[in-house]
């Protein structure tokens, strides 16, 4: 049976997961604002995680790495508004204290609690607000939507979904709108499943899927020090353990990739100042790695992002990016399509109807396809257009 995304799903769609959130006063206030959240499994879990490759990462990332080296976790506390990054040893102590408070509230061992923090770099966590916030949270099996809203910063809308595979459900949510060029994970992604999944297989599968989904997303080329993806599998729906070669392993991986890809595209679409999603499909590369390099060069080009904003079928900028992307390429073999129309082949522009392509580019999704004619490697990635609004958001988002 073909898998399908349920956009109304969330991290509490799988059985045995509960979540909740409250407003503790870290974000500027506003109707319905939430900024501290808890997610927990009512059952023991296997956990997989990927973290930022930014060498100057947040205290939360350090804490999570240490916790997961010691054993599995089953809960996470998240705060939005303050990243707790570049905060030294005090940042580590504050983050650990927050996990203790969360463990107390949830009635579980604090060593089973992870922490994610997102927001301004270099500010200390306001521990009184964190403490009163955590004590005010009630977690329920309907709390997934509040959780998805609480983790937002410059996001304009929450991103959450679920996928059913076999008798199981996989749920997830992400946040991220700026400083998005994930390298190993994306800003923050929380994924849950009520299947029982072997830990090693869970981690390998998550790592592979992240490479093909979140890591091929770029909003502005900047990699955050807080990037984290967490996947909890609690077996709440019963059944046998999914491991390499198990009957449902293929379907599990497919469901995970579908969910992560959906969430990556939702993030691109909600990129800071973005008015549309751009999907980059690169084929004919000498390797998958080279195809990914071209995707990332395209998705980070100021010129191309600006051209898409202006609905300009500027294939010249696409060719120029391909040429500087660092992969071996020969111009006669390159073809470029925009919104399904071939605009460049045989070293020359085709006689395409520029008005018609420009009109197609005014929709909310623009697909750019590049065929390199050098091999079988392909990759698809996502980005967004560059608008004046992006500059306003980031010129005014003061430290």
Q: Kindly identify the residues of this chain, within the stretch 236-295, that bind a copy of itself according to CB under 8 A.
A: none
- Contact between 303 and a copy of itself by CB under 8 A: the answer reads yes
The interface with a copy of itself within residues 19-58 (CB under 8 A) comprises: 53-57
**Minimum distance from residue 297 beta carbon to a copy of itself (Å):** 9
Size of the site for a copy of itself (CB under 8 A): 69
Residue 179 sits in the site that holds a copy of itself (CB under 8 A)? yes
Print the binding letters for residues 63-102 with a copy of itself: x by CB under 8 A, - otherwise.
--------------------x-xxxxx-------------
Nearer to a copy of itself, 21 or 368 (CB): 368
Classify 146 as helix, strand or coil.
helix
If one asks whether residue 396 binds a copy of itself (CB under 8 A), the answer comes out as yes
* φ and ψ of 89, to 5 deg: -70, -30
Among 33-41, 110-118, 193-201, 390-398, the segment contacting a copy of itself (CB under 8 A): 390-398
Which residues contact residue 250 at a Cβ distance below 8 angstroms, ignoring those fewer than 6 apart? Answer: none
Residues whose CB falls within 8 Å of the CB of residue 193, separated by 6 or more in sequence, listed in order: 14, 168, 169, 170, 171, 231, 232, 233, 234, 252
Instruction: Pick between residue 121 and residue 241 the one whose CB is nearest to a copy of itself.
Output: 121
Tell me if residue 50 falls in helix, strand or coil.
Answer: strand
- The nearest distance, CB 121 to a copy of itself, in angstroms, is 3
Whole-angstrom distance, CA of residue 149 vs CA of residue 130:
17
Q: Which is nearer to a copy of itself, 134 or 357 (CB)?
A: 357
The SS3 of residue 229 is strand
DSSP string of 160-197, one letter each residue: EEEEEETTEEEEEEEE-SSS---SSS-SEEEEEESS-B
Question: Smaller CB distance to a copy of itself: residue 154 or 365?
Answer: 154
Q: Give the shortest CB-361-to-a copy of itself separation in angstroms.
A: 11
Sheet strands side by side (includes 228-233): 5-6, 159-165, 168-175, 188-193, 228-233, 46-51
One symbol per residue from 307 to 346: x for binding a copy of itself (CB under 8 A), - otherwise; what is it? Answer: x-xx-xxxxxx-xxxxxx---xxxxx-x---------x-x
Interacting residues of 5 by C-beta distance below 8 A, sequence separation 6+: 161, 162, 163, 258, 259, 262
186 is annotated as an active-site residue: yes
Which residues between 113 and 172 bind a copy of itself (CB under 8 A)?
Answer: 120-122
- Assess contact for 151 and 187: CB atoms under 8 A: no
DSSP letter (8 states) at residue 222: P
Q: Among 131-139, 159-167, 174-182, 362-370, which window interacts with a copy of itself (CB under 8 A)?
A: 174-182
Q: At what angle do helices 199-212 and 249-269 cross, to 10 degrees?
A: 40
Catalytic residue, from 153, 186, 193, 261: name it. 186
Those residues whose C-beta lies under 8 Å from the C-beta of residue 327, and which sit 6 or more positions away, are 285, 286, 290, 293, 294, 372
Applying CB under 8 A, the residues found at the interface with a copy of itself are 53-57, 83, 85-89, 120-122, 178-179, 181, 183, 220-225, 300-303, 306-307, 309-310, 312-317, 319-324, 328-332, 334, 344, 346-349, 354, 386-388, 390-399
Active site residues: 186
């Amino acid at each position: 049976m073909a898998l399908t995304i349920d956009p109304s799903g969330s991290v509490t769609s799988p059985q045995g997961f509960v979540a909740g959130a409250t407003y503790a006063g870290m974000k500027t206030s506003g109707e319905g604002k939430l900024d501290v959240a808890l997610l927990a499994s009512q059952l023991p879990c296997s956990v997989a995680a990927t973290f930022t490759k930014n060498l100057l990462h947040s205290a939360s990332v350090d804490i999570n790495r240490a916790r997961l080296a010691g054993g599995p976790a089953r809960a996470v506390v998240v705060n939005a508004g303050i990243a707790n990054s570049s905060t030294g040893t005090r940042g580590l102590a504050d983050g650990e204290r927050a996990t203790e408070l969360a463990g107390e509230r949830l009635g579980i061992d604090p060593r089973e609690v992870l922490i994610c923090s997102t927001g301004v770099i270099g500010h200390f966590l306001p521990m009184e607000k964190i403490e009163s916030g955590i004590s005010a949270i009630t977690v329920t099996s309907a709390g997934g939507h509040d959780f998805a809203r609480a983790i937002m910063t410059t996001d304009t809308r929450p991103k959450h979904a679920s996928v059913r595979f076999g008798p199981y459900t996989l749920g997830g949510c992400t946040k991220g709108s700026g400083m998005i060029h994930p390298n190993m994970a994306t800003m923050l992604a929380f994924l849950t499943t009520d299947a029982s999944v072997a830990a090693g297989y869970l981690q390998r599968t998550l790592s592979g899927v992240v490479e093909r989904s979140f890591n091929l997303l770029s909003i502005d080329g900047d990699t955050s020090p807080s990037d984290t993806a967490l996947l909890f599998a609690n077996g709440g729906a019963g059944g046998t353990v999914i491991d390499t070669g198990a009957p449902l392993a293929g379907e599990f991986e497919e469901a995970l990739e579908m969910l992560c890809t959906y969430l990556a595209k939702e993030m691109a679409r909600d990129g800071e100042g973005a008015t549309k999603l751009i999907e980059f499909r690169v084929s004919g590369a000498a390797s998958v790695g080279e195809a990914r390099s071209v995707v990332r060069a395209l998705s980070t080009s100021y010129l191309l992002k600006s051209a898409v904003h202006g609905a300009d079928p500027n294939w010249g900028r696409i060719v120029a990016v391909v040429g500087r992307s660092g992969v071996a390429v020969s111009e006669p073999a390159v073809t470029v399509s925009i919104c399904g129309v071939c605009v460049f082949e045989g070293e020359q522009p085709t006689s395409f109807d520029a008005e018609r392509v420009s009109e197609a580019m005014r929709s909310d999704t623009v697909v750019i396809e590049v065929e390199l004619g050098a091999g079988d490697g392909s990759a698809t990635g996502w980005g967004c257009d560059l608008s004046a609004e992006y500059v306003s958001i980031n010129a005014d988002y003061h430290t």
